[in-house]
Each structure stands twice: as C-alpha cells, then as structure tokens.
Amino acid sequence: MSNKKYVVNIVELPNKVLREKSKDVPLPLSQEDIELAEKMIYHVEDSVKPNSIFRPAVGVAAIQYGIPKKMFYIYIKDRNDQVLFRELLINPKIISKSESKVALKSGEGCLSVDEDYPNQDGFIKRSSRIIVEGYSYFEKKIVRHDQSNYVAIVFQHELDHLEGKLFIDHIDKKDPWKKPIDLHLI
Ligand SMILES: [Zn+2]
C-alpha cells in the first residue's frame, strides 16, 4: 500500500452528479482506476484516524468524487479499533436480499449529505442480510459476500450510490421515525 496522499473532493447534495448511475469498470483495472481505488482506501482509512481532516466514514463510492464508476470501498472497525470488514468492490451485483428488515437506531449519514442538510433524520429500512458478488480489488478475483446487519446496511448504502440513490430517499417524509413492528433496530 502506498503512503501517497490524495486530493479528496467530495461531491455533496444538491449536486446532480450523485443521481447518475455508475457504469461498469473494465477489467483488468487501468492505472487510472487503480489510482482511484487507492484514493478511496486512503480517504476512508484516514478519515477514522485521530485528527483526520476528513469527516469519519465507513465507506465511499466513486460517484462521491463525481466519477460514475461502479466501485466502492467499505472499511469498518469495531469498538476495539480492530478491522471488522474491509473490501473494495468493483462491478458489484446483488445476488439476493432478505425480506426481513433492519435499520440503524440513529439513522444513517453520508459524506455527500452535509450534516446541516434538511430532512435527513429517520429510519432507513434495509434488508437484514444481503449477498453481493463483485470483483475484489484485494483478492484480484470475483468474490461473494454474505453479510448481515451493520455490514449489510453499509453494503446497501454504497450499492444505492451506484444507482444514483441516497439514503434520504428511503425516509418516510411524514413520519421519519415510525417503526414498523417487524423492523429490527440495531
Ligand atoms: Zn453515502
């Protein structure tokens, strides 16, 4: 892994680029796409270090830099600062999603939605389990991820970005904190 620093410019709402659908990335990766992957890794990993200049994140999608390519990076640490999940996935496809739903108790957030942006609070219903297939930047091959709960939520948040969707689209505008009986909160 390089120690190179990258210039990170995050696209935020109301920029319409965030509504674009991302396109497949040709494999093997071009040098440009390798640089993009390295930048995503640098950005998210740096964001959770003390004194980082970046807003803390557990993931980023290429479209958040204004680049409509099907790529995202997920980097999740546990309470003890151990890496719980890490993957940079290219051209991901959803294989299956559970009927059962889960949501974060405190709602979701996104680097592309400023903390002062209106109407971003509320439950975001996600499938509690998801199976996703895609090309792993680290393993250099197609891999399959079968994830539940928190990691599954992050996957769905990032997958949405590739479709031009944002978490705020899922909020019940009339009653953002309405909890259906079958919605499991974590
Ligand atoms: Zn996001």
Query: Per-residue pLDDT for 1 more than 80?
Result: no
User: How many Å lie between the centroid of ligand 1 and the Cα of residue 141?
Assistant: 25
pTM for this predicted structure: 0.96
Whether 2 shows a pLDDT value over 60: the answer reads no
Task: Note if 99 is an active site residue.
Answer: no
For position 25, what pLDDT does the model report? 98
Nearest to 61 by CA among 3, 27, 131, 11: 11
148-184-115 Cα angle (round to 5): 85
| Domains of the chain, start order | 16-185 (3.90.45.10)
Of the residues 45, 87, 108, 158, only one is catalytic, namely 158
Distance 158 CA to ligand 1 centre (A): 6
pLDDT per position as a tens digit, 73-107? 999 999 899 999 999 999 999 999 999 999 999 99
**C-alpha distances in Å from residue 53, one per residue of 45, 56, 57, 125:** 12, 9, 12, 31
Residue 161 CA, ligand 1 centroid: distance in Å: 7
Q: In percent, how much of the chain has pLDDT > 90?
A: 96
pLDDT tens-digit map of 139-164: 999 999 999 999 999 999 999 999 99
